């Protein structure tokens, strides 16, 4: 299995969802859970996201490029005067090898990584199948529908939407009581609610996510046969 995990925005829970999937897949074979590019990372560090993915998958952090400024990578690279090695990055992602390969994106689907390379290009080097992560808060319907549409227009298959409830929301936001139902009505892919979990519960949550997206994968394989 090769999956690319994208989000409707930054800080919506991509790392939590990827870590859960990694922990569950580690029970079924070898796993690589990679964060190819990250910004807002202190010099000499792999970054919190890559470290969390490594712990869940049982390997050291797997990351290609980091930038210090908490900006879009293309802007952070310009500030540091250190352009992204585009061919090197894509080759690195394509070479990731294990029974299961998970690649987490940066921000949302339409984030520029450089002047020429975008998150969707990173996804193309990683996998054909995409999981979309969204925060369970007001605005999620529009953000999720736009993201799913964009991913599909770029030629990828969306295996499911992870609606993350581990992100703090405004106390007066009533939408979490209806967001999951509305997304299930508006989309033709599984919508799985991800509750807050600690590292000990990662595999359990990951098994739930896998159970949902495997329906789409099985249907696709039947259609190809």
Residues 14, 35, 64, 120: which is the catalytic one?
Answer: 35
DSSP state of 109: T
Cβ atoms of 161 and 134 within 8 Å: the answer is yes
- Token couple for 171: 């106390």
179/158 Cα distance (integer angstroms)? 19
Query: b/e per residue, 69-102, with b = 16+ CB within 10 A?
Result: eeebbbebbbeeeeebeeeebbebbeebebebbb
- Token couple for 182: 């509305």
Q: Is 14 a catalytic residue?
A: no
46/51 Cα distance (integer angstroms)? 7
181/60 Cα distance (integer angstroms)? 38
Cα 101 → chain centroid: 12
- Positions marked catalytic: 35
């Amino acid at each position: 299995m090769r999956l690319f995990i994208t989000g409707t925005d930054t800080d919506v829970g991509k790392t939590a969802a990827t870590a859960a999937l990694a922990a569950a897949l580690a029970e079924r074979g070898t796993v690589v859970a990679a964060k190819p590019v990250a910004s807002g990372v202190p010099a000499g560090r792999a970054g919190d996201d890559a470290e969390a993915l490594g712990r869940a998958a049982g390997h050291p952090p797997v990351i290609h490029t980091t930038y210090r400024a908490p900006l879009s990578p293309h802007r952070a690279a310009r500030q540091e005067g250190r352009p992204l090695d585009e061919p090197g990055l894509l080759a690195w992602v394509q070479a990731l090898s294990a029974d299961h390969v998970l690649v987490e994106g940066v921000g949302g689907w339409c984030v520029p990584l450089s002047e020429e390379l975008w998150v969707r290009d990173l996804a193309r080097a990683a996998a054909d199948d995409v999981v979309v992560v969204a925060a369970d808060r007001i605005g999620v319907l529009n953000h999720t529908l736009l993201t799913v549409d964009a991913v599909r227009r770029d030629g990828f298959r969306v295996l499911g939407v992870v609606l993350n409830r581990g992100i703090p929301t405004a106390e007066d936001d009533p939408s979490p009581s209806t967001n999951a139902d509305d997304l299930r009505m508006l989309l033709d892919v599984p919508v799985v609610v991800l509750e807050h979990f600690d590292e000990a519960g990662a595999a359990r949550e990951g098994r739930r996510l896998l159970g949902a997206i495997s329906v789409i994968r099985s249907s696709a394989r039947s259609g190809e046969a």
